[in-house]
């Protein structure tokens, strides 16, 4: 996990300024970074609707800084032109073209806010500046100078910043890669010591599981950074992993909420009771009643590959997964059994179904020229990874075994198991995936009462 | 006429480097700034076609720098969003939004050139930097640092610069106003001491008159800066006046030509004989055979207003035209007759038909409260201004009188006459406009021989 070093010094505990969200009955000044995704700024009318959320926060006495994505569809249009221009384009030019999308939204948002009587101005990434490395197309934020933003906010202005982009050491525009606007927002929040970073999107929060599979899925009012990380990396596409990592490192509290809500409807209750719009992603300490399991996630189309009787030398795992990494194959679950004879071992891992054939070929080639010594290779596509996630697992023994029992009760066979501190994952046959998710969701008491 | 002071020092005589265009039989290195308008970069396919013109120039051994407009229609789309966001928008935000259009084209052009094997990179106005004043939406270029561009070109690179924009003293993006890309190109040409600035557009040059009115109109192979200025300001919309003014001040030779030509067809003959694509706008000295009249122009919908018996005090003209300027009314022709009695005078002038009512009201109000003292006001809409333009007028007496005679022969009554050193204009009834243009075009020997 890479977190910009330069930002680390700027982070401070959010404990000093939890005002304005949860726990504090009186209304006190809070500083909020507000981020709007593509669907929230898809048209000028949508920008106006999103701006009303900003206005509400400003009128409540908060200092607000806005980060925007490109209008929905615009980034794809720009990327399409770049690809039409050349399949082998310079990443720096790609960035120059694609970064124009957020520039448009930032200007329009500043105009709309100004018309609502809110002092506002746009900042392109290079104007802040948001300094990045020069990994064009997937740049990392190195430093943000929050001085101007801080001054503006203190003077009652609402800065509007282009998400997804910054400026390289060579004075070229960089982009952070898809979903980078969330990361921009969190980094800006850290740089200006914000009390909260509100991610406005087209869903109203983080759910216990995918509501399309389990209609009884519930929106979580709070979730810890660690849980969110496990949820995000397991397929809950609400927030980008990078932005959650960065938020955790800098203790930036994230609120995931919908920009399609009525901006003028009653907002957060001071005590964070159910009914609050959105899900707060925060430090574990802030969550009073910890659920043992907070969510159940599902990732399909996972292929399983097993290497039998691998010669158990030091560095053998590095040789296997290095060979796969060289081919750009991303490996997910990894299980290594202790060898019976102390000389050989069995190693099983999963890759996306689409990478299965390539992975098999890569390992066969490595076996042929003795880079990796093993007896047999086998595997199959069509697996599904089901995970249960929850910080409560730390203090509750037996979550894993109860999970296995719940699946066994439904006659579902477990092919592979991996565990982390707050997560237990199993690989099962894809055809039982939805059945398994529903069973576990009910088993851990996550079903909505009213459903 | 305002020309950026800071640029003046950078201009040098083009006499030193006329190589590569006209007169010089051997092929020698030239430095060319090439500008593509919106229709020349309307799609990625059009960008590719335009890039082939650049490639041809590079392969001929020239140093080339490219300036681009936004893709045709894109600026209107962006302006539309800004207006939808707010009718009373901040001009700085307007600029931030609208300037994104050229950023896209510059990146795409750099990608396409690179794919053709030409080293290329894009520069946004702020990256060059192109420094402007802070008159957002209509900024003026104050200074261009040509160091980086110069170095790049010497190293065999083709820089691609966003036209139409720059950076203000406050680090905000500015735009130069509509048509500003021509001005950008000329300013860049001056900054890098280019031998020529090629304006690629959707017409193939400057014509003796509007070919839609006179099918026998001819393309001029050369025209002087002064003539082009008169032509531009009189309605020949090929080049923006500002860019011609700047080109004249810095002795930047302009070549107006079509990007729709086959880039690989045979190009300029070394002696500039007919058949050369495009029209060269250059110093009068470079034009060997000067026509007495180079062109005939037409502007319709001109309204005439006369103030009778104006009290002839010093400052009275300033009072009249100051009052109109305060209302944003642009006055074109102005004629003042010598007063009979030495105490009063008659003043006649023209305004666009659309401003006629406003102008009358403004002057009536000024008369009522005695800011301007006159006896009567009268006027009418529906005039047409016909002008003949030519540097040859300087040395040929009688151009004006022969013009009046040519019109009289067709029974056309002249309402108003103004003259400058190289131009004679008359106001006539709009219904005779086309007849007058055709008659004068034939009279001055401008008709194509083969038509």
B52 vs A: CB within 8 A = no
- Give per-residue pLDDT as tens, B222-245: 899 999 988 876 555 678 888 999
A111 vs B: CB within 8 A = yes
Tokens of B317: 């003209």
Q: Report chain B residues whose CB lies below 8 A from the CB of A99.
A: 103
Interface test mutation site (partner B, options A45, A89, A100, max chain B beta carbons within 10 A)? A100
Query: Which domains does chain A carry?
Result: 14-284 (3.40.1160.10), 295-443 (3.30.2130.10)
Do the Cβ atoms of B23 and B262 come closer than 8 Å?
A: no
In angstroms, the CA A42 to CA A108 distance is 11
| Overall average pLDDT of the B192-217 stretch | 91
Percent of chain B scoring above 70 in pLDDT: 89
Contact between B114 and A103 using a beta-carbon 8 Å cutoff: no
Who's near B380: CB < 8 A, 6+ residues apart?
B303, B304
Contact between A81 and B104 using a beta-carbon 8 Å cutoff: yes
Sheet hosting strand A63-68, strand order edge to edge: A120-123, A158-162, A63-68, A31-36, A196-201, A254-258, A279-282, A222-224
Do the Cβ atoms of B247 and B184 come closer than 8 Å?
A: no
For residue B110, give how far its alpha carbon lies from the nearest alpha carbon of chain A (Å): 7
pLDDT at B402: 87
pLDDT at A398: 79
In angstroms, the CA A85 to CA B146 distance is 28
Q: Could you write out the DSSP letters of every residue in A68-129? A: E-PPTTHHHHHHHHHHHH-TT--HHHHHHHHTHHHHHHHHHHHHHHHHTT--EEEE-TTTTT
Nearest to B85 among A89, A111, A173 (CB): A111
pLDDT at B33: 98
Interface test mutation site (partner A, options B85, B157, B160, max chain A beta carbons within 10 A)? B85
Q: Report chain A residues whose CB lies below 8 A from the CB of B48.
A: 85
In angstroms, the CA A130 to CA A135 distance is 14
Nearest-CA residue of chain B relative to A88?
B115
* Pairs across A and B, CB distance < 8 A: 115
Closest CA to A129 of A163, A102, A167, A165: A167
Tokens of B266: 């045979």
Q: Is the pLDDT of residue B339 over 70?
A: no
Name which of A41-50, A430-439, B51-60, B258-267 the model is least confident about: B258-267
Nearest-CA residue of chain A relative to B115?
A86
A112 vs B: CB within 8 A = yes
Name beta bridge partners: B350.
B304
Contact between A90 and B121 using a beta-carbon 8 Å cutoff: yes
A145 vs B: CB within 8 A = no
pLDDT at A105: 98
For residue B84, give how far its alpha carbon lies from the nearest alpha carbon of chain A (Å): 7
Contact between A90 and B110 using a beta-carbon 8 Å cutoff: yes
pLDDT at B73: 93
> Residue A171's CB: how many other CB atoms inside 10 A?
14
Do the Cβ atoms of A91 and A80 come closer than 8 Å?
A: no
Contact between A88 and B115 using a beta-carbon 8 Å cutoff: yes
| Overall average pLDDT of the B172-194 stretch | 93
pLDDT at A96: 97
Nearest-CA residue of chain A relative to B49?
A85
Burial class, A79, CB count within 10 angstroms (exposed 0-12 / middle 13-18 / buried 19+): middle
Name beta bridge partners: B162.
B68
Contact between B107 and A124 using a beta-carbon 8 Å cutoff: no
pLDDT at A11: 37
Q: Is the pLDDT of residue B310 over 70?
A: yes
* CA distance from start to end of chain B: 39
| Overall average pLDDT of the B14-33 stretch | 53
Nearest to A103 among B84, B100, B122 (CB): B100
pLDDT at B5: 37
Q: Is the pLDDT of residue B414 over 70?
A: yes
A48 vs B: CB within 8 A = yes
pLDDT at B304: 95
pLDDT at A273: 55
- Give per-residue pLDDT as tens, B114-173: 999 999 999 999 999 999 999 999 999 999 999 999 999 999 999 999 999 999 999 999
Q: What angle do CA B239, B241, B244 make, to 5 degrees?
A: 75
* pLDDT tens sequence for chain A (451 residues): 333 433 433 333 333 343 334 333 344 489 999 999 999 999 999 999 999 999 999 998 999 999 999 999 999 999 999 999 999 999 999 999 999 999 999 999 999 999 999 999 999 999 999 999 999 999 999 999 999 999 999 999 999 999 999 999 999 999 997 679 999 999 999 999 999 999 999 888 889 998 889 999 988 888 999 999 888 765 556 788 889 999 999 999 999 999 998 888 877 543 445 445 889 999 988 887 777 899 999 999 999 999 998 987 778 888 899 999 898 898 989 988 776 677 888 899 999 999 999 999 999 999 998 889 999 999 999 999 999 999 888 877 778 888 999 999 999 999 999 888 888 999 999 999 999 999 999 999 999 877 5
Q: Report chain B residues whose CB lies below 8 A from the CB of A76.
A: none
**Residue B391's pLDDT band (cuts 50, 70, 90):** confident
In angstroms, the CA B331 to CA B362 distance is 13
Who's near A355: CB < 8 A, 6+ residues apart?
A303, A329, A330
pLDDT at A324: 92
Contact between B103 and A96 using a beta-carbon 8 Å cutoff: yes
> What DSSP designation does B71 have?
P
Mean pLDDT, chain B, whole residue set: 87
| Overall average pLDDT of the B309-328 stretch | 87
In angstroms, the CA A36 to CA A202 distance is 9
In angstroms, the CA A362 to CA B185 distance is 54
Contact between B108 and A171 using a beta-carbon 8 Å cutoff: no
pLDDT at A291: 79
pLDDT at A24: 39
């Amino acid at each position: 996990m890479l977190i910009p070093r330069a930002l680390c010094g700027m982070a401070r505990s959010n404990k000093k300024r939890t005002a304005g969200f949860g726990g504090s009955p009186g209304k006190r000044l809070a500083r909020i970074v507000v981020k709007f995704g593509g669907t929230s700024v898809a048209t000028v009318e949508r920008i106006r609707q999103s701006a009303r959320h900003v206005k509400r926060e400003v009128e409540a006495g908060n200092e607000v800084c806005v980060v925007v994505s490109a209008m929905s569809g615009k980034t794809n249009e720009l990327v399409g032109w770049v690809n039409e221009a050349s399949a082998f384009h310079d990443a720096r030019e790609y960035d120059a073209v694609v970064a124009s999308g957020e520039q448009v939204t930032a200007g329009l948002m500043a105009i709309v806010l100004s018309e609502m009587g809110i002092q506002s101005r746009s900042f392109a990434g290079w104007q802040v500046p948001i300094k990045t490395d020069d990994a064009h197309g997937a740049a990392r934020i190195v430093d943000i100078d929050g001085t101007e933003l801080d001054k503006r906010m203190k003077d009652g202005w609402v800065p509007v910043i282009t998400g997804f982009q910054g400026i390289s050491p060579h004075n070229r525009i960089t982009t952070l890669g898809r979903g980078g606007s969330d990361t921009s927002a969190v980094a800006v929040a850290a740089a200006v010591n914000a009390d909260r970073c509100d991610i406005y999107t087209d869903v109203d929060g983080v759910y216990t599981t995918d509501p399309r599979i389990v209609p009884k899925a519930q929106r979580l009012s709070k979730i810890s950074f660690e849980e969110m990380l496990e949820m995000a990396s397991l397929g809950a596409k609400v927030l980008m992993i990078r932005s959650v990592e960065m938020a955790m490192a800098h203790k930036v509290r994230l609120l995931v909420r919908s920009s399609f809500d009525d901006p003028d409807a009653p907002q957060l209750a001071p005590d964070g009771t159910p009914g609050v719009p959105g899900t707060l992603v925060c430090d574990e300490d802030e969550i009073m009643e910890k659920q043992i399991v907070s969510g159940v996630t599902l990732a399909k189309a996972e292929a399983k590959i097993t290497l039998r009787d691998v010669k158990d030398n030091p560095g053998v795992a590095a040789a296997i997964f290095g060979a796969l990494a060289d081919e750009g194959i991303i490996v997910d679950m990894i299980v290594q059994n202790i060898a019976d004879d102390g000389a050989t071992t069995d190693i099983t891992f999963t890759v996306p179904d689409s990478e299965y054939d390539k992975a098999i070929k890569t390992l066969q080639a490595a076996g042929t020229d003795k880079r990796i010594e093993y007896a047999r290779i086998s595997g199959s596509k069509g697996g599904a990874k089901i995970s249960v996630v929850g910080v409560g697992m730390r203090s509750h023994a037996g979550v894993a075994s109860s999970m296995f029992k719940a699946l066994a009760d439904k006659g579902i066979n477990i092919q592979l198991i991996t565990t982390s501190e707050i997560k237990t994952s199993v690989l099962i046959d894809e055809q039982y995936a939805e059945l398994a998710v529903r069973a576990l969701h009910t088993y851990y008491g996550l079903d909505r009462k009213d459903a």
